[in-house]
Amino acid sequence: MERIDVALIGAGRMGQVHGPNAANHPGLRLKYVVDPRPDAAAAMASRWGAQVAELDSALADPGIGGVLICSSTDQHLGHALAAVRAGKAVFCEKPIDLDLDKVRKAEPEFAGARFLLGFNRRFDPHFQALKRRLEAGEAGNLESLQLVNHDPAAPPPGFIPTSGGLFKDFTIHDLDLARWLLGEEPSEVFSSASCLVDPEIGRLGDVDTARTLLKTPTGKLCVISNTRRSGYGYDQRIEAYGSKGMLTAANVHANTVVTLNEQGVDAAPIHPNFAERYRAAYAGQLDHFAQVLHGRATAQAGYADGVAALVLAEACQESVRTGAPVRL
Amino acid sequence: MERIDVALIGAGRMGQVHGPNAANHPGLRLKYVVDPRPDAAAAMASRWGAQVAELDSALADPGIGGVLICSSTDQHLGHALAAVRAGKAVFCEKPIDLDLDKVRKAEPEFAGARFLLGFNRRFDPHFQALKRRLEAGEAGNLESLQLVNHDPAAPPPGFIPTSGGLFKDFTIHDLDLARWLLGEEPSEVFSSASCLVDPEIGRLGDVDTARTLLKTPTGKLCVISNTRRSGYGYDQRIEAYGSKGMLTAANVHANTVVTLNEQGVDAAPIHPNFAERYRAAYAGQLDHFAQVLHGRATAQAGYADGVAALVLAEACQESVRTGAPVRL
Amino acid sequence: MERIDVALIGAGRMGQVHGPNAANHPGLRLKYVVDPRPDAAAAMASRWGAQVAELDSALADPGIGGVLICSSTDQHLGHALAAVRAGKAVFCEKPIDLDLDKVRKAEPEFAGARFLLGFNRRFDPHFQALKRRLEAGEAGNLESLQLVNHDPAAPPPGFIPTSGGLFKDFTIHDLDLARWLLGEEPSEVFSSASCLVDPEIGRLGDVDTARTLLKTPTGKLCVISNTRRSGYGYDQRIEAYGSKGMLTAANVHANTVVTLNEQGVDAAPIHPNFAERYRAAYAGQLDHFAQVLHGRATAQAGYADGVAALVLAEACQESVRTGAPVRL
Amino acid sequence: MERIDVALIGAGRMGQVHGPNAANHPGLRLKYVVDPRPDAAAAMASRWGAQVAELDSALADPGIGGVLICSSTDQHLGHALAAVRAGKAVFCEKPIDLDLDKVRKAEPEFAGARFLLGFNRRFDPHFQALKRRLEAGEAGNLESLQLVNHDPAAPPPGFIPTSGGLFKDFTIHDLDLARWLLGEEPSEVFSSASCLVDPEIGRLGDVDTARTLLKTPTGKLCVISNTRRSGYGYDQRIEAYGSKGMLTAANVHANTVVTLNEQGVDAAPIHPNFAERYRAAYAGQLDHFAQVLHGRATAQAGYADGVAALVLAEACQESVRTGAPVRL
């Protein structure tokens, strides 16, 4: 496989996940790192054999086939538009934007574009195995879903105001997972939420604990369980119930060691955070982007998926606000 | 421990669970079996060394300390009233009655009575262990609950019309479990339900698949997952999430044997039905009733618990009917 | 099923297991309790509705169909002979006797007798499930076995001198399990043993930690792992390896509850002792004895099995003494 | 970390594991690939940006700091000697050689050399976690070990004659693990072995199924379980028993998905082969070699460990040949 040059926009938390994956991929070469903070850009570039660049010059380089957008959320859409207008394939971290109107208005520009949105859970080997078994009929026809997505510890309150809130920032992953697995668009959304983890989150107008109940036109039911603080690691699970049985994807533990002694039975903890838990998912996602770049695959999570998840997240917010289910 | 004589009313499905447990209990003697079907009464009586009797004469026997009510649901309340009026301690299978008004009207007669309602899950050793750990603070303060109650296979449609419907017949166990664990009365109920298992159930006006979301005044959330047909056994689980961690009570498998071969990894199935899964719970429940009879304990699930669960079950029904949450 | 009267000889540790099981069995009636300690006999008899009796009169009662021998080990053989001579069916706790010569000499008297030896593991539902799967070919042809039998805590040193030593007292269960599962008689025995748990055990000439390696004429291998003190409960497991896969029977935990919190993942301990771990096995064993008494079954572990296990236990002892394998 | 140049000798099965790990390591650069088969060398070199070279010229390059020896077993020692004489740090696949005399004779030349032998299990994160817990005293003082090492499927018979036999080729890993965990040298070795998997292996004078029992001077016991064909994947486990409890490192499954349906409970298979099971171990091992190369660590498995494991493997062979334990 020839290597195709890519540019990384944003050397922050997610850039540090995707940049190395691009640099190590046999079909990609990390050529440019773009970041407004010169030190961050330089550190990433030197570590992985890339050059620091300005956005414009990176996009102007005809050798650049793809762009990885890991900038701050409020810049995702602007950077994505610039890259698509420059004819590049785009991998963009989620969400496209927190403002559904802006996202919808920009949608026509993405028609036909090679655009992969960062719904990493679709590339998790455990969740993919569950989906394969589901499609193989091991549980019969899918009837209901249980998605668990619990963060290990609450974010600093300073993160809340620009986060978009629990549903757009966090639940959005589950809303996409639900769409991916249900094979139907939810037509009813009910969310019940509380602020139990950190009262400061509540003072900032957000919630930190929620249950969301989706229903589809054919009567399939899906429950999403969210909390900002589990106290025991990054709890990521799926249960799928069908006409002939159930499928479950359990948590991944740090290792398989168990102690039995007077104190009881003590196993290794589950993975503590997204970087460890979804290491393989991030690598698989970038490999998929490489396949898209090489023309061997169509993006499995596109712009329209981002729009649909955002619509559901807004419905969750509205349901909490009104105390009633929202019909879509 | 002296043995106290008890009478069993109803030698059907539940009578066959409780009758033998009474006969085998060192503090009880099964003296009478009452059942309108002479054969059923005689079979039970002869197997366990008891006598067949009419209800009135059994209740008139001053040696009878307690009565086990396992008659059909529509007779529970009448039999309970008769037994309480005769001064007997009463163990009564759930529900007290399907009609909340009747149940409430009769409530004063049960003031001060020794009355144990058949919420057997409270006596399950797994669920009791979970509650002990919860109360010991292993998960910190309880914030949310997930209750799974999936029947192995749908009942015959003929059962539906007199069953009271999914929520009063089946979910009622979970509503009691929720109250038992939450330590607060739910103040909001939202249920979403479908008929996915058997269209005949839908034609009879009932549902067979449901998710119920409870919220308490302090913001605790509880999800109840129900289906009439799992396809893989009797799925009975609890997950409790708190400020410092989580507790889970998993399913019980028939045995611990696992096969690993070319076909994969094959473990023993989970318990197939209530009789096997809750064998220890039923024994513990009857032991508790014996303690009540001997004056050593107060009934842990009384008439008021039956009323409260029925109120919640009606709220579930109303939520499904109106499509909106019900505030209590 | 008619009830057949049985007499219990010995109201000690094992009598307290088997006596109640007999009293509760629908096909048996516990008529006599025989024990040289009048208090122990009386307590057992009154608790279970039986009479205290002398051995001779109990055996002289023509209504007694079976005898349960739970006396001290040095009396097993004498009591068994007396019962067999009286024409009774016999259930006898293991071992028959510690002296192989005496056991062999008495063997002819047991020809044709209904005699069940207390190898309770053959009646454990987990081990039975493993054997069923093995016989169903799930692992192909059996090639090797791993048996784990670890006691929770060392016996008091005073028990050692009359115990027969680790191999005759403890390993003997595994030697019987090995024969039961291998389907062949071992032809080579090698044991390696240490005294690591309690030096007093060593001073008394016994060992407390051992590994035994059996080989059969067709080359099947079996490892037996023993220790007198696990520190974590009663560790009882089987692994069976075959030409197409493996089967494992794991430990049974007290309940299914697991805590996940900052301290880690904490499951319930395994069963702490033989009474809890093998409760179902003891009940199944006594039910089998009832079947034998009623003429519906042939004893699944007879006198010859006791002889064979004792031969192997002596081979283990000899192997430790000589440091060499013993060919049989 | 500066990158230090390394040369890979052997682009075969193990070279394909270690070469990419070297190429991807931030502290190493894969400069040369040496292999007598020009195509294999060229494919590896071009894939990972290295050059094809002859052994002599690679060793003559003063820029080469380290050499990875993945040639055929009969060439390990010659290549290692050449590399050490050239002053290079050496990573060498196990075994050093099949001939203990040759290995011992060459030993003085390795005094002071930076030499890491390919005992990859020491770098497995699961086994390392077990060792950490053991050293932290979670199981008290170690008393006995159970090591399971079962290959998924027998090698082609053509591999047997040059393999060194089961003990030198396969068990050697477990003998090293035993030394690593026991903290003492075994003083007694007894092996019992059969040919059950493939009669052709027996005709070639080798065995395919074995149990080995090690004993140390202080009485610690260790059982090693080996087979050439499990039928269910690559079974790799450790159980460590101590004075206060036990530690276990279980198998790693392909994913966490489980199906429950009418057919039973079906989990994902365990890892099928060494490349998947020990992926992290191989990466950790090469990282350790990089630390050695950079002067930040001393090789954790050196020449003397290779000698000691070979001595034990020969003792296993002798024990099978003589049918008696071997004292060391």
Please indicate, yes or no, whether residues A77 and A20 belong to a single structural domain of this protein: yes
* Location of structure tokens 């040496």: D34
Tell me: the pLDDT tens digits for A273-319?
999 999 999 999 999 999 999 999 999 999 999 999 999 999 999 99
pLDDT at site D26: 85
Please indicate, yes or no, whether residues D176 and D222 belong to a single structural domain of this protein: yes
Average pLDDT over residues B309-320: 98
Average pLDDT over residues D108-137: 98
pTM of the model: 0.96
Inter-chain CB proximity B213 and A190 less than 8 Å: yes
CA of B125: which chain C residue's CA is closest?
C255
Model confidence at B109: pLDDT above 80: yes
Please indicate, yes or no, whether residues B113 and B152 belong to a single structural domain of this protein: no
**Amino acid in position C276:** E
Please indicate, yes or no, whether residues C292 and C256 belong to a single structural domain of this protein: no
Average pLDDT over residues C72-96: 97
List the single range of B1-5, B173-177, D110-114 with lowest mean pLDDT. B1-5
CA distance D264 to chain B (A): 5
Contacts of B33 by beta carbon, 8 Å cutoff, 6+ apart: B7, B8, B11, B15, B19, B41, B44, B45, B48, B50, B51, B52, B53
Q: Give the other-Cβ count within 10 Å of B129's Cβ.
A: 17
B226 Cβ under 8 Å from any chain A Cβ? no
Sheet holding C51-52, edge to edge: C51-52, C28-34, C4-9, C64-69, C89-92, C115-117
Tell me: the pLDDT tens digits for A197-214?
999 999 999 999 999 999
Inter-chain CB proximity B196 and A223 less than 8 Å: no
Inter-chain CB proximity D190 and C188 less than 8 Å: no
* Location of structure tokens 């499509």: B323
CB D279 within 8 A of CB D21: no
C268 Cβ under 8 Å from any chain A Cβ? yes
Which of B231, B266, B267 faces D262 most closely, judged by CB atoms?
B231
pLDDT at site A6: 98
Residue A209 in any domain: the answer is yes
Please indicate, yes or no, whether residues A200 and A323 belong to a single structural domain of this protein: yes
CA distance A280 to chain C (A): 23
CB C173 within 8 A of CB C122: no
pLDDT at site D268: 96
- Which CATH number is C81's domain given? 3.40.50.720
A148 Cβ under 8 Å from any chain C Cβ? no
Residue A299 in any domain: the answer is no
pLDDT at site D33: 98
Name which of D265, D266, D270 to mutate to probe chain B: the one with the most chain B Cβ atoms within 10 A of its Cβ: D265
The band of C1, judged by pLDDT with boundaries at 50, 70 and 90, is low
B179 Cβ under 8 Å from any chain C Cβ? no
Please indicate, yes or no, whether residues D103 and D187 belong to a single structural domain of this protein: no
pLDDT at site D131: 98
Tell me the two tokens of residue B161. Answer: 């019309």
Residue A135 in any domain: the answer is yes
Tell me the two tokens of residue B22. Answer: 């009474």
The phi and psi torsions of C171 (rounded to 5 degrees) equal -60, -25
- If we measure between CA atoms, which residue out of D246, C226, C271 comes closest to residue A261? D246
pLDDT at site C93: 97
Give the separation between CA B250 and CA B127, rounded to whole angstroms: 9
Chains that touch B (3 or more CB pairs under 8 A): A, C, D
Torsion angle of the four alpha carbons B112, B117, B121, B123, in this order, in degrees rounded to the nearest 10? 50
Torsion angle of the four alpha carbons D291, D292, D296, D298, in this order, in degrees rounded to the nearest 10? 130
pLDDT at site A1: 64
D129 Cβ under 8 Å from any chain A Cβ? yes
Average pLDDT over residues C6-17: 97
Inter-chain CB proximity B265 and D267 less than 8 Å: yes
pLDDT at site B1: 64
- Give D241: exposed, middle or buried? Use CB within 10 Å, 0-12, 13-18, 19+: buried
Model confidence at D182: pLDDT above 70: yes
The band of B26, judged by pLDDT with boundaries at 50, 70 and 90, is confident
Model confidence at D1: pLDDT above 70: no
Tell me the two tokens of residue B126. Answer: 């797994």
DSSP state for residue A268 in the 8-state scheme: P
Give the separation between CA C226 and CA A201, rounded to whole angstroms: 56
Give the separation between CA C286 and CA A223, rounded to whole angstroms: 48
Give the separation between CA D298 and CA D291, rounded to whole angstroms: 8
| Residue D67 Cα distances to D102, D240, D296, angstroms | 21, 35, 17
D272 Cβ under 8 Å from any chain B Cβ? no
Average pLDDT over residues A221-232: 98
Residue A74 in any domain: the answer is yes
DSSP state for residue C120 in the 8-state scheme: G
Tell me the two tokens of residue B254. Answer: 């028939």
CA distance B301 to chain A (A): 29
Inter-chain CB proximity A231 and C265 less than 8 Å: no
DSSP state for residue B70 in the 8-state scheme: -
Proportion of chain C above pLDDT 70, given as a percent:
100
Range of the domain at B37: 4-119+282-301
Give the separation between CA A39 and CA C143, rounded to whole angstroms: 63
Inter-chain CB proximity D140 and C213 less than 8 Å: no
Tell me the two tokens of residue D190. Answer: 């007894």
| Chain D residues lying within 8 Å of B267, measured CB to CB | 264-267
First vs last Cα of chain C: how many Å apart? Answer: 45
Q: Is the dihedral of CA B188, B194, B199, B202 positive or negative?
A: positive
The number of residues making up chain A comes to 328
- Give C148: exposed, middle or buried? Use CB within 10 Å, 0-12, 13-18, 19+: buried
pLDDT at site C34: 98
Inter-chain CB proximity D219 and C225 less than 8 Å: no
Please indicate, yes or no, whether residues B82 and B187 belong to a single structural domain of this protein: no
C136 Cβ under 8 Å from any chain B Cβ? no
The band of B2, judged by pLDDT with boundaries at 50, 70 and 90, is confident
CA distance A266 to chain C (A): 5
pLDDT at site A2: 85
The phi and psi torsions of B266 (rounded to 5 degrees) equal -120, 110
C217 Cβ under 8 Å from any chain D Cβ? no
For chain D, the C-alpha Rg in angstroms (whole number) is 20
Please indicate, yes or no, whether residues B183 and B46 belong to a single structural domain of this protein: no
| Chain A residues lying within 8 Å of D46, measured CB to CB | none
A232 Cβ under 8 Å from any chain B Cβ? yes
Torsion angle of the four alpha carbons B156, B158, B159, B160, in this order, in degrees rounded to the nearest 10? 100
B262 Cβ under 8 Å from any chain D Cβ? yes
- Which CATH number is C153's domain given? 3.30.360.10
Please indicate, yes or no, whether residues D149 and D242 belong to a single structural domain of this protein: yes
Residue A114 in any domain: the answer is no
A133 Cβ under 8 Å from any chain B Cβ? no
Tell me: the pLDDT tens digits for A100-142?
999 999 999 999 999 999 999 999 999 999 999 999 999 999 9
CB C306 within 8 A of CB C118: no
Tell me the two tokens of residue B302. Answer: 């009384």
Give the separation between CA A252 and CA D150, rounded to whole angstroms: 24
| Residue C156 Cα distances to C59, C153, C198, C199, angstroms | 34, 9, 10, 12
Please indicate, yes or no, whether residues A230 and A323 belong to a single structural domain of this protein: yes
| Long-range pairs, D40-45, Cβ under 8 A, ≥24 | D40/D11, D40/D12, D41/D11, D43/D11, D44/D8, D44/D11, D44/D15, D44/D16, D44/D19
H/E stretch holding B173 reads: helix B172-182
Which of C139, C252, C259 faces B139 most closely, judged by CB atoms?
C259
| Chain D residues lying within 8 Å of A252, measured CB to CB | 256
A256 Cβ under 8 Å from any chain D Cβ? yes
| Chain A residues lying within 8 Å of D251, measured CB to CB | 256
Chains that touch A (3 or more CB pairs under 8 A): B, C, D
How far is Cα of residue C125 from the mean position of the Cα atoms in its chain?
A: 15
Give chain A's domain count. 2
Concatenated DSSP letters of C87-110: T-EEEEPSPS-S-HHHHHHHGGGG
Inter-chain CB proximity A264 and C269 less than 8 Å: yes
CA angle in degrees (0–180, nearest 5) for B140-A239-B121:
55
A139 Cβ under 8 Å from any chain B Cβ? yes
CA distance B241 to chain D (A): 22
CA distance D124 to chain B (A): 23
D261 Cβ under 8 Å from any chain B Cβ? yes
Q: Give the other-Cβ count within 10 Å of D279's Cβ.
A: 15
Inter-chain CB proximity D213 and C210 less than 8 Å: no
Please indicate, yes or no, whether residues D239 and D289 belong to a single structural domain of this protein: no
The phi and psi torsions of D71 (rounded to 5 degrees) equal -75, -175
Pairing mode, strands A326-327 and A188-194:
antiparallel
In this prediction, the answer to ipTM > 0.85 reads yes
Average pLDDT over residues D39-65: 96
Q: Give the other-Cβ count within 10 Å of D69's Cβ.
A: 27
Please indicate, yes or no, whether residues C90 and C236 belong to a single structural domain of this protein: no
B146 Cβ under 8 Å from any chain A Cβ? yes
- If we measure between CA atoms, which residue out of B151, A6, B306, B264 comes closest to residue C246? B264
The phi and psi torsions of B271 (rounded to 5 degrees) equal -55, 140
Give the separation between CA C127 and CA C133, rounded to whole angstroms: 10
Question: b/e per residue, B286-322, with b = 16+ CB within 10 A?
Answer: bbbbbbbbbeeeebbbbbebbbbbbbbbbbbbebbee
- If we measure between CA atoms, which residue out of D55, D64, D70, D58 comes closest to residue D21? D70
Residue A298 in any domain: the answer is no
B39 Cβ under 8 Å from any chain C Cβ? no
